[in-house]
Amino acid sequence: MQLRKFSMRAGDEPGSAGERNQAEAEVMRVLHLGGGEGGTLRVLCLGAHSDDIEIGCGGTLLSMISENPAMEVHWVVFSAEGARAEEAQNGAEAVLKGAARSVVEVLDHRDGFFPFRGTEIKEWFEALKTRFDPDLILTHWDGDRHQDHRLLSELTWNTFRNHLILEYEVPKYDGDLGNPNVFVPLSEEVRDRKIQLLMDTFSTQREKSWFSPETFLALMRLRGIECASPSGFAEGFHARKLTLSPGPVSRGAEGP
């Protein structure tokens, strides 16, 4: 079966058959993302730089934490120093407020040089795998033109071989936006919270021409159109592969 695109929400109760049939004429069919073992959803968020995670999947995380207060989140920013490190910490805390448990790591790898520090970063990934076993991983898209973003995507797949991985997008000058096939509809409240959080937290980026409310709003609007979001807004992700099950399953063995 080839899954071209779908949207997902966390925590919604399915309606009656009649309600579903009426809704299906207006919105895409939704895959509900619930908790893992014991009802706790474990999420790993990986970002190369301060603000990457918030831009790429901040709305999704805000929505998921609101619907799944038992969530456990491990949040890693690989390159942030000085004021940017403080922004990274503040941004993570703002998004993760309300999560049952969260760990934030801010590292200091040199911006723009990740491919030349691949061994060190790969070793860090291998150590992380022994410390946190996620149900869902949010990481950079492998088609991203930024070399740091692309390396983290590659290492995510190299390291976590039997996990659900969704790759988020970050708009930039390079013009590398793709065609995501997974969407998370966002409410207007979450849309506004995401934009306000970005503009309030990352003051070092405000002078950059692309870092503006209009940029973030436009991308969420475009993805909202593509998944027929009821609010008109969404975040998009790339799912390289995933496994669907009609019922609960135990974790399988890691692939070859």
Q: Which of 14-18, 101-105, 127-131 has the lowest mean pLDDT?
A: 14-18
**Predicted confidence (pLDDT) at residue 75 exceeds the cutoff of 70:** yes
Average pLDDT over residues 22-40: 57
Residue whose C-alpha is closest to residue 46's, from 31, 61, 67:
61
Q: What is the pLDDT of residue 35?
A: 57
Q: Average pLDDT of 168-197? A: 96
Per-residue model confidence as pLDDT tens digits over 79-123? 999 999 999 999 999 999 999 999 999 999 999 999 999 999 999
Contact between residue 150 and residue 48 where contact means Cβ atoms under 8 Å apart: no
Question: 23 CB contacts (<8 Å, ≥6 apart)?
Answer: 15
The per-residue pLDDT of the chain, averaged, comes to 87
Task: Give the pTM.
Answer: 0.85
Structural domains of the chain sorted by starting position, each given as residue range(s) with its CATH number in brackets:
6-238 (3.40.50.10320)
For the residues 122-126, what does the mean pLDDT come to? 97
Positive or negative: CA dihedral 174, 175, 179, 182: positive
Residue 72 burial (10 A CB sphere; 0-12, 13-18, 19+)? buried
Q: What local confidence, expressed as pLDDT, does residue 204 receive?
A: 95
Q: Can you give the pLDDT at residue 23? A: 45
- The whole-number pLDDT of residue 17 equals 44
- Report, as an integer, the average pLDDT of 14-43: 57
* Residue 98: Cβ within 10 Å count: 12
Tell me which amino acid residue 68 is: N
What pLDDT is attached to residue 187?
97
Q: How close are the terminal C-alpha atoms of the chain, in Å?
A: 22
- Beta 101-106 vs 72-79: how paired, if at all? parallel
At residue 69 the predicted structure's pLDDT band, cuts being 50, 70 and 90, is confident
Tell me which residue of 41, 203, 226, 16 sits closest to 137, measured CA to CA.
41
Report the distance separating Cα 189 and Cα 203, nearest Å. Answer: 22
CA neighbor of 107 nearest in space, from 134, 133, 129, 125? 125
Q: Tens of pLDDT along 229-241?
A: 999 999 999 999 8
